[in-house]
Amino acid sequence: MTAYQLAKEEYAKFGIDTEAAIKAAAAVPISVHCWQGDDVVGLDGGGAASGGIQTTGNYLGRATDFEELKADIKEAFSLMTGKLRLNLHASYAVLNGEKVDRDGYEPKHFAPWVQFAKELGLDGIDFNPTLFSHKNVKDGLTLSSPDENIRTFWVNHCKACLRIAEYFAREMNSKCLVNIWIPDGLKDVPADRLGPRLRLKQSLDDILSVPYDKENVLVAVESKVFGIGVESYTVGSNEFYQNYAAKKGICCLLDNGHYHPLEYVSDKIPALLAFYDTVALHVTRGVRWDSDHVVLFEDELKEIMTEIVRCGATEKVRIGLDYFDASINRIAAWVTGQRAAREALLFAMLQPHETMRKMQDGARFTELMALRERCKLLPFGAVWKELLSRENAREDWIEEVLSYEKDVLSVR
């Protein structure tokens, strides 16, 4: 008997069908961010991530142009598992020397990405306006700036992004999530907390006033509790965006590195699902005050995926990844995080949710605790290995990355 067959029997004792779990876990799309490949630098000349966003490390072989980034994505994606999407930032426009600023980006600047995504057979493309690493981030502000020209520039950038998102949705025949994150905030005690928020509200209203394909372009807003350099006040806070999204019929994006360390996104998902048809995620790993560490197979990740699964919301919750580590091999970082997310999905699908729910509703908390502890020791690894082999994905992928580092990255 193979390890998988034994595992299958073991899980069956708890009423869990490993075959169904393997299929379901591999079929959930994970939108993989392009920006792990080059430390969020982008291709449009914005330079090193700045304006509320920072990358640390200088590991060899950073992709410095479109060709290198594509090669690295190809390599990294070939080692990932299950259904994949590509999550692009607007700063990855392929301009080919054309002098055009972010408020003038058009679908044609992203046509090479569409071609590439089709070549890789991806499920779709998601998109993010880039409101950082640019001279028009004025005094740390974008859509909430008191300077009308600055606001208009960024409003026009976001409008352009909606048109590009429509193009992605059409070309890929798959809904495109457009996520707006802005760095706006203040380092020290504000003299006015309302003004910037009212300006942000007006800017968002202006952006959403353009007609766009609401069926296929899903707009999300991403909140943050604070950032480096904006410790005292963040314009786009959680309360601000949740109310805005609810009133305007758009959705919220929850980045699990963007809350107080004792607040859990796993708990927020069902809260939002009570009101929204779509909830978007940036799956990341916060460490103390810093978000964006490489995602690992840890408790909160498992709990996030568990909530998605037990709420029956794998089609409502759009899972995207968001981390950038420049201190280790970037491709290894990419693959580690993506695999951890998929592992957590499978883990979530291998729990006896119905039995546990009944125990909760019947106030059988003693049994529930005992059962949960037993489930932690079920032979999950054997089922994961089975998923890998069915997906033709290798277990010892690090060897491949190290030889790519030797042959490709180290000679850049």
Residues that bind ligand RNT (CB under 6 A): 35, 40, 53, 128, 181, 222, 224, 255, 282, 291, 322
Check: CB of residue 319 under 8 Å from CB of residue 304. Answer: no
Pick from 62, 201, 268, 282 the residue near Zn ion by CB under 5 A: 282
- Residue 67 bears catalytic tag: no
Based on the residue annotation, tell me whether 101 is a catalytic residue of this protein: no
Piece of the chain touching Zn ion by CB under 5 A; list 146-154, 159-167, 200-208, 278-286: 278-286
Q: Round to whole Å and give the CA distance between 285 and 301.
A: 8
Q: Got the DSSP string for 127-147?
A: EE---SSSTT-BTTBSTT-S-
Respond yes or no: is residue 181 known to be catalytic. yes
Active-site residue identified among 222, 325, 386, 405: 222
Q: Among the candidate windows 103-111, 157-165, 240-248, 314-322, which touches Zn ion by CB under 5 A?
A: 314-322
For position 126 contacting Zn ion by CB under 5 A, the verdict is: no
391 a catalytic residue: no
Neighbours of 166 (CB within 10 A): 17
Q: Write down the catalytic residue from 123, 292, 307, 343.
A: 292
Nearer to ligand RNT, 159 or 282 (CB): 282
Please identify which of the residues 106, 166, 213, 290 carries the catalytic annotation: 290
Cα 388 to its chain centre, rounded Å, is 22
Is the distance from CB of 350 to CB of 18 less than 8 angstroms?
A: yes
Residues 6+ apart with CB under 8 A from 108: none
Q: Cβ 282 to Zn ion, closest distance in Å?
A: 3
Cα–Cα distance between 157 and 131 in angstroms, integer? Answer: 8
- Name the minimum Å distance from CB 94 to ligand RNT: 18
Terminal C-alpha separation, the chain: 48
Does the annotation mark 290 as catalytic?
yes
Separation between Cα atoms, residue 42 and residue 36, nearest integer Å: 10
**Of 75, 322, 325, 386, which lies in the binding site for Zn ion, with binding defined by CB under 5 A?**
322
> How does DSSP assign 93-128, residue by residue?
---TT----GGG--GGGGHHHHHHHHHTT-S-EEEE
Residue 65: active-site member: no
322 as an active site residue: the answer is yes
Of 101-109, 209-217, 255-263, 352-360, which segment contacts Zn ion by CB under 5 A? 255-263
Active site residues: 181, 222, 224, 255, 258, 282, 290, 292, 322
Give the binding site for Zn ion (CB under 5 A): 255, 282, 322
